[in-house]
Every structure is written in structure tokens, then in C-alpha cells.
Structure 1
Amino acid sequence: MIDYSNWELRKLSVDALQLDRENPRLPEEMLQQSQSAIIHFLVDEFKVLEIAKSIAQNGFFINETPIVAKVGKKFVVVEGNRRITALKLLRNPALAPPRKKYSYIRLAEDIDVSQWEKLSVYIAPSKDEVAPILIARHGSEMTSPWQRIMKMRFLAGEVLRGVNHEEIADRYSVKIAEVRTAAITILLREMIRGADIPDTVKDAYLHEKFQTSTLSRIFEAKRFQELAGLQLVGSKLTYTIPQDEFLKVILHLCKLIVDGKLTARTHKDVDQRAKFIEDVFIKFSSGKSGEYEFEAPPTEDGGEKKETRKPRPRRKKERLVPDTMSFNTGMGKLNELLSEGHKMSVGSYPHASGMLLRSILDLSVQRLYEINGKLDETKNEDGRTKGLSKRINFLVSNHADWFPDRSTCVKFKRFTAKDSESFVHIETLNDYVHGDYGKPTKDDLRNFWGHVEQIIDLLLQD
């Protein structure tokens, strides 16, 4: 039983609270990411906006007091990361992903956000002491539940640290079988992570939404354990068939799952499942036997270790502006910026890439007015150039005939629509230069280049 007598209830600054990088909701690659990146991930994946709407309408429920723990000199949110994220965004909508920012601005307009400058939180003696609460709340339907792999990673982390299986089961009120299944699954994932297979295949097998329950149903089967001699001993896997053959069996099962040929609905009958497993082993097993083991060393965060891949041949990098294309727009400065885009790989310098695309679009629009003899329409009364949004809005409203077809013009109308919540929007691109924004992803940059390219096509000269 948890002793709460030394848990302090204190008011702390919401803005200063740190979100937990080890939150089981987050994928492994988020462990080293910034607070901004964590906020964006939670907003995109876990319905933070719905929580913000509830807080704006009903206030912050007193029965949902967050729990924090002091790590170094900072207080880290261990329970309540989504609620704290919602409060942070209501207090400062600029922290939201660009395409969601205006939703939080609208919510914050009608409430006094200063009431949440400080919030009552429980301060736990350590993050470890909060763990049983996390399992009790998120491992069931009491609150927004973790995905299966999230809970497995949490339980397996204890196994990999060398904690006794029975102790883990008792501490978190789960069955020993669940602890064992979690540890075996995570160890198999580590085995796959180190396999010499294409990255795209590996990513599919390690994806957060991969059907791990289907895989565990197979390796938990009595016939599988007999043929493979599979056991969990402490924090390591042991088996009696050669390691390369065992890996081939696991990779084959993963491929069937990804291809949809092995699902929760196939081989429900015990005898059918046993026959299926026997066929797989006949295909990959040589009949040799011995004593083999696989162990993933514990990591600092207690989860799956970071991926270490063998060096692979260098691939041709995808460029921000495709280097298979050359441009002569009739404007020297614009041509030079496009040439700079040829030298930048997508994602290497995301902030600079976003600003470069914004500059290219700005000059492209200006050049379009120029070649159509309407440069005066881009100027204010004092002779200064109007803002990019105004110039594009005027362009699609008054010069649809400049576009080669109606569909291209319609796309640009959506690109500047005031009521649009799409990420691919002129205001998002403007935020790369003028606003407080999150780091653009490769997909974001590709999407924006697709819009910029259509304007450039209207300028090209022989």
C-alpha cells in the first residue's frame, strides 16, 4: 500500500511544470525531444483540445489534481500530462501546433486564464512511487487508457531493471502472466530492432499500432513454447533452437501480421493454431537444438533501449527543392533562393527550410504580379509592399484567370481561407518567420513545397 503521508500538496506555476519525457504515451524517439515537441505530439495524438474545451467550460476539476515529482531542480508531471498541456495552451496558445493555435486562442478569449497561473499539485517523493497509480488509472478504463504496447513497455521496464516478476505483479496489481507477456514482447521487439532487415520493414514491425496481442497469442501457445523452448528467465529470453532460426520465425510471424494474414480472428481453434505453429517451425527450423539466450541491457529510462543500426550505404538525400528541376523565373534573387533549396535536404534544417519556402513564395507571388503588369496592386498608399496574405487573397479573388485551371485557383483559396484549420495554410507558413511555432516536419515541408511549386510553374521562362 502506498504511504501518502509524505506527499505534499502545494501550488506551483503551470508554465514552469515540465512534461514527462518518459510518459508511456510517448514513443521511444521522444525521449530526447523538447517540451515543445512533446506538447505537439500530445495535441496531435491524444485529444488535448477536448480537455481544454472542458476546462474552459467547467474549470479544472478538483478531483483531478496532477501529481509531480522533483527531478533535479525541476518539477516533472508524472500524472496529468494531458491536463497540464491543456492548461499551458490555454494560457499561451502560441505553444500549440500552428494548425491548432487558433482553436486555443478562441477558447482563451472568454475565460480568465490568470486563474491557472498556479495550480495545486501533489508532490510525490519520487516518480517510482507514482507508478502503481499510473497502472491502476491507465491500465484500465478508469481514464483515457494507454495503448497495449504502452502498458507493456512500462511493466517490462521493471523486468529489465531486474525486479522480481512476482514483486512487479504485486506492486501494480496485475497477473504474473501479464508481466511475463509484457517482458517477452518488449525483448522480441529489441531482437527485431537489431535485425538486419530494411528500415521500412523494421519500422512497420515496431510501430506503436502493430498488433502485439496477435503476436503474443502465438508465442504464449503451448505448442510454440514446446517447439522453441521459449522461457523468460529473469530479464532474458532463453530458447532451444538456433538464434538465427528463432529470429526468422519471429520475423515471419510479424510479416503475416502486417500483411493481414495473421489476425486475432485466425487460428482461434487450439488445434488449428498448433498446426499453424508447426508449419512455421517446419519452414524455418533445421531441427538443431541447444541453449540460446537473448538479453536487452537495462536503459537509463527503464524502457526499450535506443535503436543501434548497422551502417548502411548512403542514400541520395531528398532535397527541399527537388534538384532534378532547374528554374528560370526571370528574377535573379528568386532563382538564387531556389538554388539554395537544391542544396538543403528535407528535414536537416527545418526552421531555415520553413523560412526559405516562405521567402520563395513571397517573391514568387510578387513576380507573378510583375509579369502580369499589376505590380502596383501589391503596394500600399505609402509605396510599401503589402503583406503576403493580403497579396495572395487579392490574387485568388481578382485574378483567377492567371491560373492555368480552376482547381489550382481553388487550392490557393483554401490556402488563405480565414476559417481554415488546416496546417497547410498561409498563416502557418508566416509563423515560421513571425510567430512562436513548432519545428516543421519533413511532411510539413513537402506539403508547403507542393503549394509553392504551383506558383513557380506560372513564372517559368524557357
Structure 2
Amino acid sequence: MAYRKLPLASLIVNPANDRHGELENETAAIAQLFAAQEQHMRNLAKDLVSKGEIFEPPLVFPSGDKYIVADGNRRTTCLKLLAAPRRAPTVELQKFFADCRKNWQGTFPDKIECRIESNRDRVDDILFRRHTGVQGGIGQSTWNDRMKANFVIRTGKSSGLNVADEIEKRLKEAKLLPVRKIPRSNLNRLLSAESLRNRLGISVRKGKLEIIRDEAGTLAALQRVANDLADRIITLDNIWDTESKLAYIDALEAEGMLPKAARKPQPKTLAAPAPAPPQSRPAPPRPPAWPHLIPDVSYGVTWPAHLQRHRAIWEELQYKLELGETPNAVSVLLRVLLELSIDNYVKRRQLTGALEIDKLAVKAGKVAADLHATGKIDKKYLGAITKLKQGEEIVSLDTLNRYVHSPNFSVSPDHLKMLWATLADFIVLCLEA
């Protein structure tokens, strides 16, 4: 194995690429790549121009004085057409690549780094492991939806709205932009989760960035974050994971930098409009009932490393275990999630009055009292949690305990739903401690 920079002109797009089978020559191979995946090829070309590099060297093998591309044909094709747009298979694509080339920053490369393998059997072994699936662990393992989500949450990289770009526009319009350039990738990483964005007063909804708190306070908070990043007070090391992101935003909150809730506009007294005439439209069909305990809505929970067990249980209750089919399993996991969440609050808040030997109901009461004392819940909700401690109530923590421990107690999905409706905010607050 060797890595070497090779002239782009010496690379041949593989006419026997397994994506399409054997073709006559390189020109036919290029045409076939666009016939099968034109939009993907266009997107790849735009990304190459935007980043100015290909990230992963093509895998090639020698053929006379040239090199056949075994892996990386799409990247190589895009570079070749950026270098010579007239080689594109249609007039529209020729214009597209000519326009893309104009946006290339700096000197266009005439050489690219490649991985050279002379042994064709070894080339095939590499391709087998890269492109034929997991193969029982031998091959490359693709990411499932949660893995992809973890990556987006950690890095802020996604194909959707560029949050950093939008924030920079808002700050520029308000004349609050820092003198130094904002590291956009770090800003996207910091604000990669909706719950973190919400604390700074912004939200991403339907592909748009919205200010959801006091606008002046939100812009001031975003200006502070932008300055900290631009002046390198906060670097990648300071916001690498969720714990460090939360620590930074908590520090801003302690300084009083986070925006307050926006004031609701006062309703204007206008003459009541004439009632519209009734229309006989059929009522829209009701959406199917969500079959799991936790509704399919965002609760705004940020999941740092120490909450991974909690997150796994939460996702099983929200997406995997059907309440009607597995009520016993749901009741047990709800009990576990509640206790782990309470223990998290006790540990993070260092509540010496809530000891491990306390019963669950007692600990829940002490945590609720602390939440009320710190202004996180009102007196009415404190009363609701306190009421759950009473064993004579059908929907109570005692009922939840009996679901787990009593052999003669029948689990009721309706009771579990009512328990969740009461406990949801309490559990979320415990997780966010």
C-alpha cells in the first residue's frame, strides 16, 4: 500500500465499475454515472467545490502508464469534469460544471492523493469490505438512524439549515457581528441540539431559524457566543461533547446572559368580526393513536454521556414498546426511568436530604420540593406530585410499585398514560438537572 499524489489526467474512471458493470471506455462510464445518479453527482460536485478537497483518497491500481480507479469513481469523475467541463455528457451538465468551476477557491489541483494497490486481489478484498454490507462484522458497518442523529447532535453537521449562517446574518443585520471571523463549524457544533438552541432563544422550525425569546436578549446572547468563539475564548476542545456544551451555556446563564421569555403582545380591542357562515366540510380524519407510552413529540431533553442509560429507556418507551402489547414491560421501564431520573437530580443537585435508602415516593417528594423552592415548578404542580405519593390513589407511585412487585396487580395501560401525563414534566426536569 502506498499513498502518492497522481496527476488527475493519469486517472481513468473505471469502465468496469461494479456500479454499472463493464462498459466500453471511460466516457461511457462517466455517462452511466450521471444516467443513474445525476442529482447525487451534482450534489457531490457542489460539495467538492465548497470544501476544496475530496477527504478520502481514491483507491487505484496501475494499468500501463495510467491508473484505474477502483473506488472513488464518483469523486474522480466530478474533479475531471470540473477540470474539463466539456467532457460532461450533456450540454446542461457542461454548463453546470463550468459554473461550478468558477466558484472554486484558489488553485484547482492538477494532482490528487491516491491510495495505490498493485495487487488486484487485494483491491477486491478492500471493495468487498467496503461495499457488500456488514458481512457479520467483517465489512463496513453502516449507521442506523440513531447513529446518524448522534453524529448530527455531536457535530452540528447536517444537510438542512446552516444555523451558523443564519445567526451570522441576524447579527450582521443588527450590527452586532464580531470583528474577527466566527468559526462556523464550532458554532454549529455548539448549537447542534434544539434544546441548546432554545436556551439561547432560538429554534429551528420547518427549515427556518426563529427567535423564540426576547429578541434583544437573544441577539445579545448570540453576540456573546459569537465573540467567545471568534476571540478563541471558546474553542473546539471546550465544546467537544454535550457535557462541555451544557457547562458553557450554564456559565452564560449564571452570568445572566441568557434571554428571557418574550413578552406576549397585548390584544387590541377591535370590533368582533361577523361570524362566518357555517360550511359543511367533512371533518379531517383523525391521526392514528400513538401506540407507545411517551408521545411522539420533542421534550427538549439534552442527552449528555451520563444520561445514555436514561436515553435508551426513554427511546424504548417512546418508539419501541407498544403499550397495548407490552404493558408489563412498559410499567417496569417507567418505574426504572422515574427512579434513575430522580437519582440523577439528587446527585447533580447534591440533595443530602434525599438519601439512597429513602423510598421512591419520599425521594420524589423531596425532589419536587427542591424544584418548587428553585422556581422550576409552581405550587399547583408540587401538589400534583405530592398527591402521587398517596398510596390510596389509583394513579399513584404506589400503583407503579405494585405493577412491578405485586403478582396479583393487573397493569392498566390507561393508568400508565395518566401517570405519564402527570410525571412527564417532572422527569424531564430531573434529567435536565
On whether the aligned pair clears a TM of 0.5, the verdict is no
TM-score, with length taken from structure 1: 0.28
Q: Which has the larger radius of gyration?
A: 2
- If the length of structure 2 is used for normalisation, what is the TM-score? 0.30
Structure with larger RCO (C-alpha < 8 A, sep 6+): 1
